[in-house]
Amino acid sequence: MVIGSKELIRDINTSLIIETIIKNAPISRVDISTKTGLTKGTVSTIVQNLLDLDLVLETGFVSNGVGRRRAMLQLNKTCGYCITLDVEKHRIRLMGTDMCGNCHGLNTAQITNNSNIEAETFTLIDNFISSVAKSTYGITGIAIAVDGNIRNNIPFIQSFNSDIITNLANVLSEKYNTPVTFHNNAHLAVLGENVYSMRAKSLAFVTASNHIGMGIIADNRLFCGSNGQACQLGKMIIGSQCKENGILENLVSINSLINKLSSLKGQPMKFDDFVQLFKANDSDAKEIAEDFIYYLSLAITNIITMYDPEIVVINSPFTICFNEIFLRLKLSLGNNKSILYRSMLKDEAALYGGAVANITNFLKIDNFTPALCYFKHMQIL
């Protein structure tokens, strides 16, 4: 039997107590002891240390009618703030949250070929910092969401500004003296959906927009694969077509489908044009919708076959704009139709997922399951 050091055992117990406080707040020391199985003395010592570190607050006293009143505890949500940056080709979005995941700022900077990405990012971050009250720990972490593989905190992306983005972690870490981590945006999105919207032991998140991505929660854990390359749904081969034409991203991404619509119409089309044509029952727009439903249903069926998730969440402009397309996609799954849902967080899912990644990293906990009392701006189902 391997026996851990006192420091290791203390750290494990501290993480367990923090998770218990977050999940059950407000909660007393006695109830923490009951839920964790730790002795009252161990709980009291660790809680006092958390109070001294300003990570936990006593929020008041309650009485059960017998004996002393009990002090109630909860996480100090304003002991620090965390930032998520969602870096896309034409924009950078920033969300700042407190340590319980409440949004305190959401801003966007538009990006062009001539933009200074570092300067735009600094402006976004500095504006957020100036908008919140000073705290004990300041900015506790910055998560950067990108469309690409992440290995050893190095993003592998194909973009005109890839070199600048790759170096962004070092620049931000040095300027703001805080940990900066890269994440695949679909991996963050499934974290966001799982905490803020569709809580499940196993969950699949599918995004079908300009790119096709997927995130998987399996057995309450984010599944990234051995080298961070798992869940690259857009690269899935569908059907017996040639390799290039059979790649899912070449079949159901917005760019691909709108290009097909442009070819059918003989003139350049945009997604807004598709929306108007579909509402008018245009036959070409209907064909585009059929392609989306057919190929994406095959992909989702494969996901269900491989991972057997409790819930599949879809985020796509096609399903957001049209109930008909979502319902037909749902029905195309046959016996599995009941597990498909539309994303509640939509394009902000990765931003909220970044908050989850930042918070768990700073607090050194594995599970972030906030009590309902923490949230101001989000409804938890």
214 neighbors 231 (Cβ within 8 angstroms) = yes
How far is Cα 56 from Cα 68, in angstroms, rounded to an integer? 21
* Domain 199-343 in this protein, CATH class: alpha beta
**Choice among 34-38, 135-139, 228-232, 314-318 with the minimum mean pLDDT:** 228-232
pLDDT of residue 379: 44
81-190+348-374: CATH, from 3.40.50.300, 3.90.1150.10, 3.30.420.40, 3.50.30.30: 3.30.420.40
Instruction: List the domain boundaries for the chain.
Output: 6-75, 81-190+348-374, 199-343
| Choice among 139-153, 274-288, 348-362 with the minimum mean pLDDT | 139-153
Across residues 237-245, what is the average pLDDT? 60
Class of the domain covering 6-75: mainly alpha
Tracing tokens 């506790």 back to the chain, one arrives at 140
DSSP assignment string, 148-210? SEEETTEEE--STTHHHHHHHHHHHHHHHTS-EEEEEHHHHHHHHHHHHT---SSEEEEEESS
pLDDT per residue as tens digits for the range 149-196: 777 777 677 666 777 788 899 999 999 999 999 999 999 999 999 999
Q: Are 104 and 82 in contact (CB under 8 A)?
A: no
To 10 degrees, what angle do helices 117-131 and 162-176 make?
40
Calculate the dihedral angle through the C-alpha atoms of 46, 51, 53, 57, rounding to the nearest 10 degrees. 130
Assess whether the region 6-75 and the region 81-190+348-374 belong to the same CATH fold.
no
